[in-house]
Amino acid sequence: MDRCKLYVITGETYHPNRGLLEVMESAILGGADLVQLRDKDAPARELLEKARALRELTRRYGVPLIVNDHPEVALAADADGVHLGQEDAPIAAARELLGPDRLIGISTHSIEQARAAERAGADYIGVGPVFPTATKPGRTAVTTSFVAEAAAEIRIPFFAIGGIHPGNAAEVLAAGAKRLCAVSAVVGNPDPGAVCREMRSLIERSERAASPEDAAVRERAKEVTVNGVLRTTEAGTLLELAAEFGLADKNAVAEHNGEVARKAYWPFLPLKDGDRIEFVHFVGGG
């Protein structure tokens, strides 16, 4: 979760002529590193089907998947977690259902709600809507002043959300956000990947301007290509990288710079900048 910087939420009404998976794959290839399934209209069965399809896609790219509003769907689809609003199920109830390892995110609209979410054990919070947005019509914008308050005080990761696009992302980052979240700007664009690339490069530019401590962490990080997608990782070995993708204890094989890497060697295979890795994960022992 800590490494996630660009959270993209589904919004199928914004792309009536393109499929959900095609749009979200483009976003992932552009650098979306956390995905949420949000569908306020789908009946339960359809929502679960979409969650399972997105689970398969996101797993292929090592991207965590969150389901909006429905902890039971998150569990049934083996998603990484659930996102809850202030009027949704309380954190404790979701935690009981999902256990300690899955993620629980909460929407917050004030610093008091952000403090309460942190105390209640949320893994991350949404801070917004920062700007007015057609995706949540009628909601008062919290402005970048709440972003600044959260940056000064909240220790769990927070994602600024609401009306954010490449044209105003720098302002949100300057207010103290390290992570951004978007629906319409990404999925409503004919090229979701290009929008994600722009947003990622704004995030990276803002990180470069940040503290020397962060610079040291970045120095340890390396850029590798995993299943065709450029990723930044601090993993030192192939096994540590596989763990980031949830594959360390799965039936999987890897190719490392074109050579088959047997799983027994993963702990001893050091990763370096520019490495190319392909993971193949077998489901159901096949």
Ligand X SMILES: Cc1ncsc1CCOP(=O)(O)O
Ligand Y SMILES: Cc1ncc(COP(=O)(O)OP(=O)(O)O)c(N)n1
From the list 25-33, 87-95, 142-150, 188-196, the region that binds Mg ion by CB under 5 A is 87-95
Q: Which of 24, 94, 111, 161 binds ligand Y (CB under 6 A)?
A: 161
Paired tokens of 183 = 């629906």
126 touching ligand Y, by CB under 6 A: yes
Instruction: Please list, in sequence order, all residues whose beta carbon lies within 8 angstroms of the beta carbon of residue 188, skipping any fewer than 6 positions away.
Output: 11, 14, 15
- Which one of the listed residues 5, 38, 95, 179 is annotated catalytic? 38
Residues 57-76 that bind Mg ion (CB under 5 A): 69
Residues 176-215 that bind ligand Y (CB under 6 A): 181
Paired tokens of 90 = 């309380």
Spatial contact of 171 and 193, defined as CB atoms under 8 Å apart: no
| Cα–Cα distance measured from residue 223 to residue 165, given in angstroms and rounded to the nearest whole number | 25
159 touching ligand Y, by CB under 6 A: yes
Task: Count CA within 13 A, CB hemisphere, residue 63.
Answer: 32
114 touching ligand X, by CB under 6 A: no
Which of 285, 272, 207, 211 is CA-nearest to residue 238? 272
Proportion of the chain in helix, strand, coil states, percent, rounded to 5: 40, 20, 40
135 is in an annotated binding site: yes
Q: How do 34-37 and 65-68 pair as beta strands?
A: parallel
Paired tokens of 270 = 């050091």
163 touching ligand X, by CB under 6 A: yes
Tell me whether residue 28 or residue 164 sits nearer to ligand X (CB atom).
Answer: 164
143 is in an annotated binding site: no
Which positions are catalytic?
A: 38, 107, 136
| Binding footprint of Mg ion on the chain (CB under 5 A) | 69, 85, 88
Binding residues for Mg(2+): 69, 88
| Binding footprint of ligand X on the chain (CB under 6 A) | 107, 128-129, 133, 135-136, 161-164, 182-185
Binding residues: 36-40, 68-69, 88, 107, 133-136, 163, 183-184
